Structure 1
Amino acid sequence: MQLIDIFVAMLLMGLLILLAQGLHLKLPFLSRYFIPTSVVAGLLGLLLGPQVVGEDLSLWPDATTIVWSGLPELLISVVFACLFLGKKLASPRQIWRMAGPMVAHGQTLAWGQYVIGLSLALLILTPLFGVSPLAGAVIEIGFEGGHGTSAGLADTFAELGFESGADLALGLATVGIVAGVLLGTLLVNWGRYKGLIKDHEVTLDKKKKQSQDSVPASLLESMTLHLAFIALAISLGWLLLQGLILIESFTWNQQGDGLELMGHMPLFPLAMLGGVLIQMLLTRLGRGDLLDSKLISRISGTALDVLIVAAIATLSLATVAEYIGPFLILAVAGVSWCLFGFLLLAPRIFPRDWLPMGLADFGQSIGTTVVGLLLVRMADPLNKTGTLESFGYKQLLFEPFVGGGVATAMSLPMIYYFGALPVLLVCAAIMLFWLCVGLFVFGPEKETQE
């Protein structure tokens, strides 16, 4: 492969995104249901590629599909390195006070996805369909982690002998986004009908134009500096990973004969920790405002868009078709669990404003953080309930572990080495712990407020 191949692949992706944006303008339902442009572009890339129209009619050269298939693994580290760069890190007490109920609810949903998935793997998927027990982690990886995490773990799936798992997770991620937006829209309207949301809280003035945050020219000129800090965060993550691998080689995996966990761990969760370390250091030096959070978010958003387009465009339809039975079972079970968590658990965990708070967790648990933010915007566009702040702080106690964090990354090697049943028991214990925290620590506060 030559540099010109990479250049052509990125040009074609840019044209694909422009075409998807044009469809967004021509087809209002795409905007009405908040289907991201990147998802539309990825689906177009898939439909116009060799898996649908065939090798002879495909618009994409072979080198282009090769480049696209390799992008997600690289760009996911950029996305996670940006999570905490440029953001003010609150104290643990402040975070817990504002986001505690949302943390308990979100963690319950996340670990419950492992419980549901692993139970299905042990009882149905492995005995009846012969699917690897690693499928038990696919719901959490696809729903909570999304396209980025699913694609980022492709090598781990392959190394552990379940290469098809990445495609199943990507398929579930697409199902999760669509289901999250459609079901979330229905839930918002249901809440409005039930009087849980007042009309003025959900009706935006259509005559008022939404102003977009602009980035000053001085910050655009410092794009290079921001990219350099992102590169530093990823580099620190890589050094942390190499250090963990080295420690493993001197302890439980001497001479490669023992338990190899760190060797299967992807880079992106440690790149996130690298970003946290950099932001803590800048804050300690009195330069916490050196990086602009809006510009960092734009860089992260661009990387995530390109990642999603590439991941969906190179999704293996043959794999999804081959595992259509397990795929449908996992999809239905995952969606049902998320609905259960919203309709039955959220009202009992959140002391106040359970509907917008619960929608934030529902959207994230079924279709990534972006869907959660979209549903919050629909339920509380003026942010009168403070859900956005609570949701933002929640990520500090959530993203490092599940939804693409360390626990997500380690789930596959843990299942591979220890088996599905022990991991299921651990996940069930963690889920019950967070459920008890939500019901018995924050739940009583609701009665006090009433």
Structure 2
Amino acid sequence: MSPEQIGFTLLYLGVFLLIGKWVRVKVKWTQNLFLPSSIIGGFLALIFGPQVLGRFLGMFVDGDSFLTNGLIPEQVIDVWSNLPGLMINVVFASLFLGTTIPGFKKIWRLAGAQLSFGWTMGWGQYVLGILLAVLVLGPVFGLPPMTGALIEIAFEGGHGTAAGMSGTFEEFGFDEAYDLSIGLATVGLLSGVVFGIILINWAVRRNKTNVVKNVEGFSDLRKRGIMEFQNRDPAANMTVRTESIEPLSLHFALVGLAILVGYLILQFLIWFESVTWGAATGSEFMTYIPLFPLAMIGGIIVQIVFSKVDQNNILDRPMITRIQGFALDILVVTAIGTISLDVIGEHIIPFLLIAALGISWNLFGVLVLAPRIIPSYWFERAIGDFGQSMGVTATGLLLMRVVDPENDSPAFESFGYKQLIFEPLLGGGLVTSLSVPLIFEFGPILFLIISAIMCLLGLLVGLLYFGRKKS
């Protein structure tokens, strides 16, 4: 494929992002659901691509006709299918760049209860998913035990993690897991917003909220995804002069450095295994680890080093956030636009069972467990974890903003500190990336036992320690 063709695919990407934004501005129901333009654009790409429009037109034209790809040429789909796995490294490498990493004691004091709740929810998704796989999906539908990890990968991890795991799925001969997990991530995100708004209205009517006592809703501009004029601030800060280097270029280079550090860590782990236990047992376990969680570790290392040597504070968190958001938009559009409807259709009943179980567990967590674990402002804090557990951190932040528009509760601060421990492990962290290889290598029962112990640990700490502090 020529460079011109690759560049052309990126132009297509921009077109669908623009169309997605136009739909968000014009169509009311997309505003009421707060659908990101990337989700809308991805669905439109799926509809106008070979999966839907192409098949429809294929009934009327010869099989070799370009119309069988719909409005999206085959080379565009070929490039798009590789972009999610690349962009997820950018997203995860950016997680901690430009942030202040506090000590564990401060995190525990401010966000311990929320960490216990999130820990319970994350490991619980593994417990229920593996039980479903072992008892139903395997015996009845012939799916491998690795299917049990899809709830956490898709719901807690979201589109990015699902895309990042595609190479691991292929290594173990479970290619269908990519399409299933992308589909589940989409279901999780949509249902997270829908159920989140329903839960907020319920909480307000039942006096479960401490800040908002009536739901007045966002402004029309906010629903359309347009920043109000009075709230428009610079998207990032110019920390270096452009005659020396463009600030965006500098921060992109730092993200790239974080990914490179993660890559070197991965290569070291692969080499270390090959000369130690791998040489004796023939194990190649480390080769199955995807790059993105180690890119996150690389970001932490770069941040720690930079905090020591950067005396002028040139590393700007808002600039890093813009890079991260750009990568995530590309990831979502291309992941949804290239999803295989054949795979989901072939496994529609398992797909629906996994989705229903994941949604039910998250609803149980926010309605039953959260008020017993989180001692104060339980709903304002739990609704953020609910949104994250259904797909993306942005959904959690959105829902928290609805119930705490002026940041009057400790919800945002607690959520942010909790992420510093939670993200490196679950929701796309090391545990998520290792779950499929561990289940494949050692069987589902061992990982089920580990998950149950971790889930129970989080639950007991939450109920018996933080829960007793409830005023």
Q: Does 1:171 align with 2:183?
A: yes
State the shift of 1:216 in Å. Answer: 4.1
Is it true that 1:436 corresponds to 2:460 in the alignment?
yes
* Aligned amino acid, residue 164 of structure 2: G
Query: Which of 290, 293, 305 is the equivalent residue of 1:266?
Result: 290
Specify the SS of the correspondent of 2:284.
Answer: coil
Q: Which residue of 2 aligns with 1:64?
A: 76
Check whether the contact 2:182–2:336 (CA below 8 A) recurs between aligned residues.
Answer: yes
Name the structure 2 match of 1:394. 418
Q: Is the 8 A contact 2:188 2:391 kept in 1?
A: yes
CA pair 29-287 structure 1, distance change in 2 beyond 3 A: farther
Q: Name 2:63's counterpart in structure 1.
A: none
User: Are 2:306 and 1:282 equivalent residues in the alignment?
Assistant: yes
TM-score by length of 1: 0.96
Displacement of 1:196 after TM fit?
2.0
Match of 1:374 in 2: 398
Q: In structure 2, do the counterparts of structure 1 residues 282 and 217 end up closer, same or farther at CA, with 3 Å as the change threshold?
A: closer
- The structure 2 residue matched to 1:118, chosen from 120, 125, 130, is 130
d(CA) in 2 for partners of 1:184, 1:314:
28
Q: Aligned match of 1:212 in 209, 220, 232?
A: 232
| TM-score normalised by the chain length of structure 2 | 0.92
Please state if 1:29 is matched with 2:54.
no
Aligned CA RMSD, in angstroms, stands at 1.6
Q: Residues 417-436 of structure 1: CA distance to partner in whole angstroms, max 9, x if unpaired?
A: 10111111111011101111
Q: Which of 330, 350, 356 is 1:332 aligned to?
A: 356
- 2:244 is equivalent to residue 224 of structure 1: no
CA contact (8 A) 2:377 2:410 kept: no
Alignment map for 1:117-136 (pairs within 5 Å):
117-136=129-148
* Contact preservation (8 Å) 2:212, 2:403: no
C-alpha separation between the residues in 2 aligned to 1:213 and 1:251?
54
- Look up the SS of the partner of 1:367 in the other structure: coil
Q: Which residue of 1 aligns with 2:326?
A: 302
Q: Which one is further off, 303-312 or 17-26?
A: 17-26
Counterpart of 1:138 in structure 2 is 150
Instruction: Tell whether the 8 Å contact from 1:141 to 1:403 is kept in structure 2 after alignment.
Output: yes
* Distance in 2 (alpha carbons) for counterparts of 1:82 and 1:151: 17
- Which residue matches 1:88? 100
Distance 1:163 1:252 in 2: 28
- Offset at residue 28 of structure 1 (A): 1.8
Q: CA deviation at 1:319?
A: 0.2
- How far the C-alpha of 1:360 sits from its partner, in A, is 0.8
- Equivalent position of 2:223 in the other structure: none
Superimposed CA distance per residue, residues 208-261 of structure 1 (whole angstroms, 9 cap, x where no aligned partner): 756133134556831111011111100000000001001111122117x53322
Q: Is the 8 A contact 1:42 1:308 kept in 2?
A: yes
CA contact (8 A) 1:86 1:289 kept: no
Which amino acid in the other structure matches residue 417 of structure 2? Answer: Y
**Residue 426 of structure 1: which of 450, 454, 462 is its match?**
450
| Residues 205, 339 of structure 1: alpha-carbon distance in 2 compared, 3 angstrom cutoff | closer
- The alpha-carbon distance between structure 1 residues 104 and 54, as it changes in their structure 2 partners (threshold 3 A), is same
Shift of 1:286: 4.9
Residue in 1 aligned with 2:441? 417
* Distance in 2 separating the partners of 1:380 and 1:441: 26
The secondary structure found in structure 2 opposite 1:411 is: helix
Say which is worse superposed, 287-296 or 313-322, in terms of deviation. Answer: 287-296
Q: How many corresponding residue pairs? A: 446
Unaligned runs of 5+ residues in structure 1 are none
* Cα shift at 1:440: 0.9
Q: Is the 1:110–1:140 Cα contact (8 Å) retained in structure 2? A: yes
Aligned residue type for 2:167: D
Letter of the 2:46 counterpart = L
1:9, 1:68 within 8 Å by CA — same for their partners in 2?
yes
User: After alignment, is 89-98 or 314-323 more displaced?
Assistant: 89-98
Instruction: Give, in angstroms, the shift of residue 201 of structure 1.
Output: 7.2
* Rounded Cα–Cα distance in structure 2 between residues aligned with 1:205 and 1:128: 46
Alpha-carbon spacing, 1:286–1:231, altered in 2? closer, same or farther (3 Å): closer
Q: Report how far residue 90 of structure 1 moved.
A: 1.2
CA contact (8 A) 1:115 1:428 kept: yes
Contact 1:68 1:310 in 2 (8 A): yes
Amino-acid identity (%): 45
Equivalent position of 1:42 in the other structure: 42
